[in-house]
Amino acid sequence: MKYAIKGGSIEKLSCDCLIIPIWSKGALSNEAKSLDVATGKAISKLMKSGDFAGKLAQTSLLYDPEGVAAKRILLIGAGERKKFHAHSCAKALKGAAKAVSKLQAARVHFALSDTLPTDRDGVWLATRVAQEMEDACYKYDTTKSKKAKAVAIRAVSISIPGKTTRKQVDAGLATGAAIGKAINRAKQLGNLPGNVCTPTFLANEAQTLATRHKSLSTKVLTEKQMARLGMGSLLSVGAGSDQESKLIIIEHKGAKADSKPYVLVGKGITFDTGGISLKPGSAMDEMKFDMCGAASVVATMGCVAELNLPINVIGMVAAAENMPSGRATKPGDIVTSMSGKTIEILNTDAEGRLVLCDALTYAERFKPRTIIDIATLTGAAVATFGAHANVLLSNNDQLAETLLDCGEESLDRAWQLPLWDEYQSLLNSNFADIANIGGPRAGTITAACFLSRFTEKQKWAHLDIAGSAWHSGAQKGATGRPVGLLMQYLNTQKP
């Protein structure tokens, strides 16, 4: 899709669908008032009929309206004007984007010049329009014999919102489109089945990215290379699989060579049976989503390159398949990590931290400014937070606060849990330096405590996305989170 700014009289604007927000209780914006007059009070008549009340995200379509150049007018409920904040604005835009994506409308215009949320500016609004449009147009049909009907939309335009300049709005649209595409890339990788999206497939995706963007380079470590580095923890996870494990390193050079990078590390378990500690059969198919942390890293790196951010960023993916076999790691086995710490594996289904710890140790060689790992790590995170929050733990209060703020700004929110020393003793082992689980209590916290043992010298944060990375049930599918949060963070960092 192409994005642009269009001005002039709203009733004379030529497009296939004109999207106009309507406040509840019949209140109309200035643009809506102009349209109402031009159409012979068509909007007012609809409001008086009771069929459309302006409730948040409610939609109603007017075909071939008289007196205007647009072929259709899509009314989108914006709710109460005083309560129109970022969350309600995003909900309204999402509703409009979904509705218009189902129409045979090639040219779409958002009339938003006086419809700013109370807590955001025009740049944010422009960014959000493009992001929601890209997101709404995603359809998965890769492994279906009948392909989905292509979305008709080819061009999206908006009125300049608020007191922003044309240059600012253009930049916002470009950023939003890039983020929306990255979210869709993460969703696509997450939705692919485990027999397609293997560690090798992820490595190939990362290498393809590097061929498309001059700022990117990709390096892939094989099992033999990882063995020489002493990555016994990562390699233990894929020991029972016929698929070779990979450590994927994607590097974006947007600043001077001596500028320290920001590092992202993604958990890439392309399918998780639980290993010898086998998972129940119910909903095991959803364990193809156990690589959504990796998907978010790959997608974010592509977005960083597309926007050519003026910083150095390194994305790492620890990719493996966790399978039971005669070669598989057993409960009670002890492995040696790259750091030299020995680990007693009490449960082979706590495998994500085992691949991440070696990746985090490897990341130290880049002398990073910060390290953020992203992982579908614990069922405890799902039980505690459901699908809404990314769970955040960190050894650095300033980094944690920054990420929380970025989550609020991007509406890809996180909530922080404590990483207190009192929890560390739950990982004590009689036979190794550390156990890979800490018992039935505080599972999300003890998982982060495990990772903190390998990041003691770093400014590090951990995002547990086990609840936010995908939906179950009728809407089953990857969400693309937390690409929005990660891009908000990286987009505000300095070289």
Which residues are known catalytic residues?
Answer: 279, 353
Alpha carbons 445 and 442: distance in angstroms, whole number:
5
* Burial status of residue 143 (CB atoms within 10 A of its CB: 0-12, 13-18, 19 or more): exposed
| C-alpha span between 261 and 257 (Å, rounded) | 9
Tell me the pairing of strands 2-5 and 155-158.
parallel
Kindly state the tokens that stand for 422.
Answer: 């009192």
With tokens 């409610």, the residue in question is 58
Q: What is the CA radius of gyration of the chain?
A: 24
Query: What tokens were used for 337?
Result: 């990590």
Between strands 312-322 and 155-158, the pairing is unpaired
d(CA 190, CA 287): 10
Residue carrying structure tokens 């049909």: 141
CB atoms within 10 A of CB 28: 18
Q: Where are the alpha helices (DSSP H) in 6-163?
A: 30-38, 42-49, 86-101, 122-136
Query: What counts of helices (H) and strands (E) characterise the chain?
Result: 14, 19
